Structure 1
Amino acid sequence: MCKDEKTIKDLIIGRRVGFYKVRGEIGCGTFSRVKLAFHALTKDKVALKVLDKTRLDSQAQRLLSKEISSMECLQHPNVVCLYEVMEKPSRLYLVLEYAGGGDLHNRLSTQGKLSENACKITFAQILSAIKYMHNINVIHRDLKAENVLFTSSGCIKVADFGFSTQVSNRNDALDTFCGSPPYAAPELFRDECYLGASVDVWAMGVLLFFMVTGTMPFRAETMGKLRRCVIECEYTLPPWVPGPCQRLIRGILKEAPADRYAVDQMLGICQSA
């Protein structure tokens, strides 16, 4: 029996016992590997995130704690569900909902921009997930196409809460630079304290631009040039992008956080388009 076919069993937290058959790797990160697994009894597919506890420094431990804490309170049809957490002396296992339809970045990279209708449907589901998260004061902080997954039936699932955090209210200032630079808001590049919801909203504007054009709004050869483009909001919308979508993107990608569309405004525009 090869390593990936071994059964992970007797992983106990209290009286709960996990029993999953691992069938192969579907992703990896700095401190973790994500494997496809099947529950031995129900045969349901899950994504099993395996973390090596011996490699986690104090910062990684804090981020992991926030990730688990955030996911434990999230129950939404467009958010990947955390089913259970299992632990061994040197390993931690997060049993996650398996999407199975690939991610948005891969789809855009291989097939090009989405059709107008597909873009509306996809963006509306992402927006629904973010509205729900912000309503319970969970900030994602790493929204990007790689973290938007499709199920086999085409439903959208927002995933990867490794940089997420919970705030006591939406006006709580944060100070940690998180996420991917091409999706980072101007205030992050200025190394300022920021409001988490505004940073998530900016990233959604970048995502929408990527979906309707097949390209990223902010591109540069160096990090310094990228920083300048983002801070100065230098991007060009192709004229063939539909008018309502242009207005939505321009309303989101505003340099000042207070000038950006709120999530409810974005929902209203999407519903009327």
Structure 2
Amino acid sequence: MNDESCRLPAATAFDEHAWPTTRQTPVLRLDGDAARACLDDVVEEVPVALVYNGISHAVLLATPSDLEDLALGFSLSEGILASRGELYDSEAVARSSGIEIRMEVATSRFVALKERRRNLAGRTGCGLCGVESLDALARPLEAVPAAEPIPVAAVAAGLAELPDWQQLRRTTGAVHAAAWIGRDGHIRALREDVGRHNALDKLLGHLARNKVAPTDGFVLVSSRASYEMVQKVAALGIGCLVAVSAPTALAIRLAESSGVSLAGFARDQRMVVYAGETGFARNKPAP
């Protein structure tokens, strides 16, 4: 693979006002025999290139908000960076075809990334971005440190707050959310995106940027809990993931092996714990 071919030309500074998260489009609403022409709000989805030391590594289709959080979260959760300190600088820039997040990273991590890119050359049939073999899919993860159990009542409280934080979902109905919820059940941060992995990476980037302790709360996602979702939270040392939909069997096995408490089908006061039942405490959250 020729790295020079991935070098990108200069571009203009990113202007969030030039890349709105929603756009109005004309639609025809049908209700039985009645028809009404009106405008509807739809969410934007744009190509976002992640560029490391001048080399483009991946292109994501994402909602154009919190993009530097997305880049940092992706870099950490995918093992490109081992810590926040290995990212020296980042800048979002706009091109005619999309948005670039240009990052300056530690030399050692960039060298490892270039080797990873070379391993991709000549390989075919892989359905996972950036994964060069089946063995690479199950990259080693350190066991998540043990922490005080999360009160089940805190999960219920976080679920109750979730709709008020999902502004894009209220407007468009077409995005996923990932929320960081404290042990008291209150949402501390939430990120939205058309992609559930993107929403989670945005949240993880925010947590890393603000040096939030991974034992201070848990992640709640408005989607199913797939293998990659468990892998991403485990990579950042977060011990509890709750989903409003179901997990996959592979996600459960990874949660069990990495020490992540995993719950799904979270609704009001109910949820199903699939792994790490000791990570939840059936008591009220602290005031």
Query: In which range does the TM-score fall when normalised by the shorter chain?
Result: 0.3 to 0.5
TM-score, length of structure 1 as denominator length: 0.33
More relative contact order, 1 or 2 (CA 8 Å, 6+ apart) = 2
Higher strand share: 2
